[in-house]
Amino acid sequence: MKDTILEVAKRLVQQRGVNGFSYADIAKEVGVSKPSLHHHFATKSDLVVRLLEHYTEQLIDYLRGLDSDALPARKKVEGFIDLYRHTLSSDRVCLGGMLAAEALTLEPTMHKRLSRFFEYQQSWLEQTLLKGQASGEFYLAMPAVKQARLMIAALQGALVVSRGSDDKTFFEHSVEGLISTLG
């Protein structure tokens, strides 16, 4: 039951934002009462904290999977970008990006977890870029940490603009531009 609740909540947050859904919305989709939801997650904040933890765990597992494969750095970066591409194809935005956009309305307990989500992405991408530079796959015109931040910011922004304008080519053109910065 908890997994179903989390999946429905994830979709709603990615499509509407935290402030765009209620427990009544989840209860209706899952087919349970609101008190039943409160049994699993006492507050909406508890639900979103657990959702973000779960989403971060999924991200970590996915990126570790890319690392476990003997892939060149460029393929790993493409796999990273595919996460965003898949999110867009599901008519959603990144959960972390949506929560970041609503940061001023989130409880402080969520901020630390949200930072962890972005820090992990940045660290993984930075290390992958450095490996690609060392192997000669990439030529970085800026330090890897700045390149990683640029890429995350551009991917998050491209998701939002593509979805908001209903123009998926905006995302793809942004990706092409990002890839071209890697040399």
Express each pLDDT in 127-148 by its tens digit. 999 999 999 999 999 999 999 9
Number of neighbours of residue 41 by Cβ within 10 angstroms: 20
pLDDT tens for the chain, 183 residues long, are: 899 999 999 999 999 999 999 999 999 999 999 999 999 999 999 999 999 999 999 999 999 999 987 899 999 999 999 999 999 999 999 999 999 999 999 888 889 999 999 999 999 999 999 999 999 999 999 999 999 999 999 999 999 999 999 999 999 999 999 999 998
Residue 157: both structure tokens together: 């922004």
Domains of the chain from N-terminus onward: 52-180 (1.10.357.10)
Phi and psi at 42, nearest 5°, equal -55, -40
Full-model pTM:
0.92
Q: Which helix (H) or strand (E) holds 64?
A: helix 44-68
Largest CA distance in the chain: 57
Q: What is the torsional sign of CA 120, 83, 85, 127? A: positive
